[in-house]
Structure 1
């Protein structure tokens, strides 16, 4: 690591925190003669700011090393998730074929996801994972502060079964106690967005909502109407954690409930960063499945 001229898009660490998290510089501000950088976490949904003298630019070698560590964790989570989906599929096949007595062909319609993200780069990572898993998704980049005013029109336009409201967040001890929502960077906007979404669709099983980011005010999000939220212990959450949560809901049959622990165990953050309430799945199974062949 070396100290150099910090620019927008530089990858940096904070000296005062032992460079424990990699950040991307997204803005530079001048405050009373000092230069400050506005930072987005590279792998965690955390927003922060820091004076230039506290920043160290991270070289490409260390970036690759840390990136490889996260990729390994992501592969493990994806493998566990796919095992769960395979078990759900086998159960559906068993039931649809009358315990394999009949040779019925069936098809499945997973829930549609509307993913609102305050970070465009995270949105790309998440939509790529949705597509890899096979979840229909509409991805929208939207500033956290604008989400409450836009969510109603998004719901009308996309008509989702599941919605993700996320981006970046952070708790600041200097602004108040952890119980005070005004001490959080974006939690109040996430809460307002959930409230507006529930004005449109009040029932938790008609629209499943995940809301929050790093260190978000978990209790307020759940009380506002979210099915799942972050962060019970005010810890950082991984950028892809919302995808694993809602994908589990998308592939669980609507006649079954999604056990909260079954959802959390395949995330990268776990129960300290994520939580929720028992929720029905949204997957629907139909039959018969008969591919239409074009006439020659």
Structure 2
């Protein structure tokens, strides 16, 4: 089997339940070991070469089609939510459609730190489709705590996303032990550093975590939303849906946690949070400047 960097593989010991991309190959104890990133889930893993199998093209195409179908369903449901929010704001801004008022909206700025450049690109494409202003930064998880302060100063976002890859390892400790997780400790430290800059949970809304991350520690550190309450895998695009819902909800209103989670691909098993205000602000009048 010709496994190389960027090869798509599954793990025989897990019945190929998740497809991974090989991002590194190492020698450990005289054996070749592949470092793996989930293709659609924010999971990091490693596996000996003898445990790897490359899916046949037909199976890979089938899985890709199923994943894209789920993503499209989630996107369509989200668009319906956004349309309802827009209609509500229009009704309120025009005094129940009784007045002809022109208005403009400021949905806030997002700073998205991602440990995976491929996932970051996918997320940025979705942000663009949804219409959210975002600054995307590829940053390895262990570097995030040291870079977040200067990035917040530079971009001054309303919403911060801290994500990448993570995994819980039973051999390293209990699920309550932060040291048993691949990158949860780095995510927690990054949230703590961000809260030193902006302590108020409504002035800077934070999503943090990846697959199987230590949810409780992230919330206690100051995240508004995090993964993963039941230590399950989360989809690569789930953070975008959470953030977009916050961006399109008025700062005068609280974001209902269930409303945020219901149209994500993972749901409440993998995502959770606390009551949080939206960041959208509406202004008027809207008067486009005409060239003389």
TM-score bin, normalised by smaller chain: over 0.9
Which residue pairs with 2:70 in the alignment? Answer: 73
Which residue pairs with 2:144 in the alignment? Answer: 147
Which residue pairs with 1:184 in the alignment? Answer: 181
Q: Secondary structure at the match of 2:132?
A: coil
Residue 26 of structure 1 and its aligned partner are, at CA, apart by 0.2
Measured in 2, the distance between the counterparts of 1:285 and 1:224 equals 31
Residue 8 of structure 1 and its aligned partner are, at CA, apart by 0.4
Which residue pairs with 1:43 in the alignment? Answer: 40
Which residue pairs with 1:247 in the alignment? Answer: 244
Which residue pairs with 2:164 in the alignment? Answer: 167
Counting only pairs closer than 5 Å after superposition, residues 113-262 of structure 1 correspond to structure 2 as 113-262=110-259
**2:81 alignment partner, one of 84, 92, 97:** 84
83-92 vs 254-263, which moves further: 83-92
Q: Secondary structure at the match of 2:268?
A: coil
Measured in 1, the distance between the counterparts of 2:272 and 2:78 equals 17
Measured in 1, the distance between the counterparts of 2:69 and 2:29 equals 43
What root-mean-square deviation, in Å, do the aligned CA atoms of Structure 1 and Structure 2 show? Answer: 0.6
Instruction: Check if 1:54 corresponds to 2:51.
Output: yes
Measured in 2, the distance between the counterparts of 1:292 and 1:242 equals 36
Residue 59 of structure 1 and its aligned partner are, at CA, apart by 2.9
Gaps of 5+ in 2: none
Residue 64 of structure 1 and its aligned partner are, at CA, apart by 1.6
Residue 111 of structure 1 and its aligned partner are, at CA, apart by 1.3
Measured in 1, the distance between the counterparts of 2:231 and 2:106 equals 35
Measured in 1, the distance between the counterparts of 2:92 and 2:284 equals 12
Which residue pairs with 2:261 in the alignment? Answer: 264
Number of aligned residue pairs: give it.
292
Structure-2-length-normalised TM-score: 0.99
Q: Secondary structure at the match of 1:271?
A: helix
Residue 60 of structure 1 and its aligned partner are, at CA, apart by 2.7
Residue 63 of structure 1 and its aligned partner are, at CA, apart by 1.8
- Superposed CA deviations along residues 30-83 of structure 1, whole A, max 9, x for unmatched, are 012110000000000000000000000123322221111111111111111111
- Superposed CA deviations along residues 237-280 of structure 1, whole A, max 9, x for unmatched, are 00000000010000000000000000000100000000000100
Which residue pairs with 2:277 in the alignment? Answer: 280
Measured in 2, the distance between the counterparts of 1:36 and 1:250 equals 42
- Superposed CA deviations along residues 170-206 of structure 1, whole A, max 9, x for unmatched, are 0000000000000000000000000000000001000
Q: Secondary structure at the match of 1:100?
A: coil
Instruction: Check if 1:103 corresponds to 2:114.
Output: no
**2:60 alignment partner, one of 45, 58, 63:** 63
Gaps of 5+ in 1: none
- Superposed CA deviations along residues 100-126 of structure 1, whole A, max 9, x for unmatched, are 111001111101000000000000000
Instruction: Check if 1:26 corresponds to 2:23.
Output: yes
Measured in 2, the distance between the counterparts of 1:107 and 1:60 equals 48
